[in-house]
């Protein structure tokens, strides 16, 4: 037997989230089904979970399979035959037996994508249509989240996490023509954390939330804002080991 690391992308609009679903509509279900066509039946393990509608550019999973799959390029092509069109394996790497796809992660990186042009139904599942805003001011507000904080007021629920404290390594914001991207890197994220943070920044820009109120919410003094931006603009962009 050998252990493999899969690096892959997926269109989150085609699934009900990345985790297994009762009706087999999760990304994990789709990838597991593709592997079963090749006779690989051991569970596929994901490094990170995403909610319904959230996409991934470089998600990571691990599988165990027989040694005769050692031609990894051919294995990648065979998996993609059954995983397409909504899941695409980009790379396959052989890893040591003690590799833990989730617990060896050092950082996770997400992007949130805005589109400032006219509405286009062909882009609707992949960007958040939103009017142009002051990107320098947005970055000032976003910088409040840098560092180590207890993000319990910026999460849907604590879930199975032992703690709601996370360390935000960096946050960037940049614009190219009609597209603005917020980039987040942290040692981990709570459920819907990024969508809540982005929504709160937009609320400050719009005058619906005061910056001082945002600071108080981050300091757990009060909870003022609980709305989410749509999931379709959010991408798991990178997992760092």
Give tens-digit pLDDT for 167-189.
999 999 999 999 999 999 999 99
Least confident of 21-25, 69-73, 103-107, 113-117: 21-25
- pLDDT value at 159 more than 90: no
Q: Distance between CA 185 and CA 194 in Å, rounded?
A: 10
pLDDT of residue 161: 66
For 48, 60, 95, 108, the CA distances from 104, given in Å and listed in that order, are: 12, 12, 12, 11
* Bridge partner residues of 174 (DSSP): 181
pLDDT of residue 40: 96
Average pLDDT for residues 15-20, to the nearest whole number? 96
Residue 126 marked ligand-binding: no
End-to-end Cα, the chain, rounded Å: 23
Q: What is 2-95's CATH number?
A: 3.30.70.580
Active site residues: 51
- Whether 2-95 and 107-240 share one fold: the answer is yes
Is the distance from CB of 241 to CB of 104 less than 8 angstroms?
Answer: yes
pLDDT of residue 27: 98
Convert the pLDDT of each residue in 92-114 to its tens digit.
999 999 999 999 999 999 999 99
pTM to 2 decimal places = 0.94
Average pLDDT for residues 29-36, to the nearest whole number? 97
- pLDDT value at 57 more than 60: yes
Q: Thinking of the domain 107-240, which architecture would CATH place it in?
A: 2-Layer Sandwich (3.30)
- pLDDT value at 6 more than 60: yes
Residues in the chain: 241
The domain spans of the chain are 2-95, 107-240
φ, ψ of residue 204 to 5 degrees: the values are -65, -45
- pLDDT value at 208 more than 90: yes
Q: Distance between CA 94 and CA 70 in Å, rounded?
A: 9
- 3-state secondary structure at position 51: coil
Q: Where are the beta strands (DSSP E) in 47-197?
A: 55-65, 87-95, 107-115, 128-129, 147-150, 165-176, 179-186
Q: Distance between CA 114 and CA 180 in Å, rounded?
A: 5
Percent of the chain's residues with pLDDT above 90: 95
pLDDT of residue 83: 98
CA 238 to mean position of chain CA atoms? 8
């Amino acid at each position: 037997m050998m252990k493999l690391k899969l690096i892959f992308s997926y269109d989150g609009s085609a699934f009900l989230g990345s985790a297994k679903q009762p009706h087999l509509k999760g990304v994990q279900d789709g990838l597991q089904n593709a592997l079963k066509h090749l006779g690989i039946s051991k569970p596929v393990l994901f490094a990170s979970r995403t909610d319904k509608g959230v996409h991934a550019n470089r998600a990571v999973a691990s599988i165990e399979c027989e040694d005769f799959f050692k031609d990894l390029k051919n294995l990648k092509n065979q998996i993609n035959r059954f995983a397409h069109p909504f899941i695409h394996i980009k790379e396959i790497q052989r890893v040591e037996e003690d590799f833990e796809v989730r617990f060896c992660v050092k950082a996770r990186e997400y992007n949130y994508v805005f589109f400032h042009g006219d509405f286009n139904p062909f882009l609707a599942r992949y960007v958040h249509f939103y009017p142009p805003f002051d990107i320098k001011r947005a970055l000032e507000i976003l910088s409040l989240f840098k560092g180590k904080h207890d993000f319990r007021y910026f999460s849907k629920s604590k879930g199975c996490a032992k703690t709601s404290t996370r360390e935000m390594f960096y946050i960037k914001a940049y614009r190219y023509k009609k597209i603005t991207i917020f980039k987040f890197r942290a040692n981990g994220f709570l459920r819907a954390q990024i969508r809540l943070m982005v929504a709160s920044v937009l609320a400050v820009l719009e005058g619906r939330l005061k910056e001082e109120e945002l600071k108080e919410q981050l300091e757990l003094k009060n909870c003022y804002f609980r709305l989410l931006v749509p999931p379709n603009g959010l991408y798991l962009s990178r997992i760092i080991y």
